[in-house]
Structure 1
């Protein structure tokens, strides 16, 4: 195969691959944008703040990114959400940061801080967490996130299951029970100004009990933090609580399955941080949204979709390596120019070879025309020259040293 043919094939291959790459890129982007991404989020009870927050996320996300559709699933809470996420039944979940994460969990964002809140009847003679021994309580669902949080705190204070008379009730029945005086206390892990807690406080003589030693408990569970319920959080007159109340705080997180669509997760993260005012119209807790700090409380890896959003202001690979990329492009342009120049030179050489033989042929013809005395020896000599020339031309054509166009012109001559 001649050098020219090799160059032709190389140039055609490069052009074909470039066109294929560009076409594939635009086709991929078109079909990617045209595909609706459906995600399911586990959000706890319909009456909870997390469920309301999930509704806000779903509505605002679909408004700005119609290709993303979020379905909200009511669940028993953080622990069930983790289990559903691991089994692949849901794609997103709201969870307490102190609940052990499953291997497939990836964090997107901190949503808001929950507070450990212990509400007791004023006639129950309970002034500290220690005083719960021997009292009647309706604890959160066994195995759930609030159950885990309560017993972590209780065990720290030296209180165990045998020390409390636990009456198994649903969440709504437990509220009625404390209001009616059937139980002495109730425990919730909820944001300040939670509506359920507010209803209890405003429906019966009750108060909030401080939960101290948060710093000590954080040593055991790094996802916990020192919290405080502001004075007047539940009532301004009279003040409830009467003063800032020490407690334990734990972040409510938005997490995703590690295989959740990267682009959809990036869009959701964008909504959380760039459309916060719209989220605030549905839930005031949107004001607490923050970027997760890996190693400062939560050790759940960041989802790559969220990571892509958080790194949006970082220079891209091409920007970071602009000089190197420019050098590579320059080298490629020089190489392409050299290949085209070489191709032109080789084509020119082949044309020159055809022109040379054509001129020789014309010279022979002119010599014959000018010869007045044409004899047999002269004709034999010219015949021999022509045979030699034809042999050279055929050899050069066979070796690809002469173009087909040049041979046709020579033949015509």
Structure 2
């Protein structure tokens, strides 16, 4: 729930505290969430935007919070644990429609989208020496599919199913990315799934230690999977993204910035305007590799869940939304 305080001074200004649900510190959501928080924040006493100061929302102080990931973030936005959050596009759509992992519950119709942000690539990380050359080789291996509440867990199960495998066919390990790194470093894990925008800290650490390879997801099975799952797309993790690893074909979803429908229209409008303020462009470009891909031209790409009225108003003003 957004918290507002008003200080009784001659230049009284209300302060709004806003929590952004992200993910593990080993992934991409947390640094991107922290970056967005810095872009949209503008605490009282900050220098004016035109004077080289903050170009965020006046009086807003946003902070990023670590979470288990997309599923937890969606529930958190719906129940008020977070004011806003990052989540995978496929998980957002499934929640709104009451499908997939959300099929046992009522549709989460209170979520709204502020913006599509950047692609998230499926990293299928395998330990060198584990003799894993294809997804099918994961059978009988110690594999982490992340923790309950993460989008990665749902994606991992979908991909395993595409290759004729289920949780019962692997020695499934429940571990978040930080724990997965520790297990890989001690040869206590053979592989793990991680859906995140590259470069990912967890994968970089293991690559620097010379412990891993990235398994490609391509070919006929991947093509059939894409035709059945429209929220995925072909992708490639470029060579040298991680030390001594070549380019790897894989699949990707996208990250969306979500909020509850109850958040005031004016606040969401100002947050959206701050995100796309040209004066904040350098923060996005320099803050993270994926920040360079956060651009207004793709703000609504692949968005099937309703856009928040505040964001919609801004997109109509700048001509991104015309119909």
Q: TM-score, normalised by structure 2?
A: 0.79
4+ long deviations beyond 3 Å = 33-38, 168-171, 290-294
The 1-side partners of 2:174 and 2:286 are apart by 36
Q: CA deviation at 1:80?
A: 0.6
Alignment of 1:86-165 (within 5 A): 86-99=78-91, 100-101=94-95, 102-165=108-171
Q: Deviation string for 1:105-131 (max 9, x for gaps)?
A: 111112221100111122111111111
- Give the match's secondary structure for 1:123: coil
Point out the structure with the larger helix share. 1
Report if the CA contact (8 A) 2:139-2:170 is conserved.
yes
- Kindly indicate whether residue 302 of structure 2 is the aligned counterpart of residue 273 of structure 1: no
Secondary structure of the equivalent of 2:17?
strand
Residue of structure 1 equivalent to 2:293: 288
- The aligned counterpart of 2:265 is 262
- Preserved CA contact (<8 Å) 2:157 2:166: yes
Which of 49, 52, 58 aligns to 2:37? It is 58
Change (3 A) 1:153 1:253: same
Alignment of 1:223-234 (within 5 A): 223-234=231-242
Kindly state the Cα deviation for residue 201 of structure 1 after the two structures are TM-superposed.
1.6
CA RMSD of aligned residues (A): 2.1
Q: How does 1:330-349 map to 2 (within 5 A)?
A: none
Partner of 2:60: 68
Cα distance, 1:271 vs. partner?
2.4
More strand by share: 2
Indicate the SS of the match to 2:23.
Answer: coil
Q: Which runs of 5+ in 1 are unaligned?
A: 1-32, 315-413
- In our comparison, the structure showing a higher alpha carbon Rg is 1
Aligned length: 276
Which has the larger displacement, 91-100 or 167-176?
A: 167-176
Deviations 1:301-338 (A, max 9, x none): 11111111111145xxxxxxxxxxxxxxxxxxxxxxxx
Partner-residue secondary structure (3-state), 2:19: strand
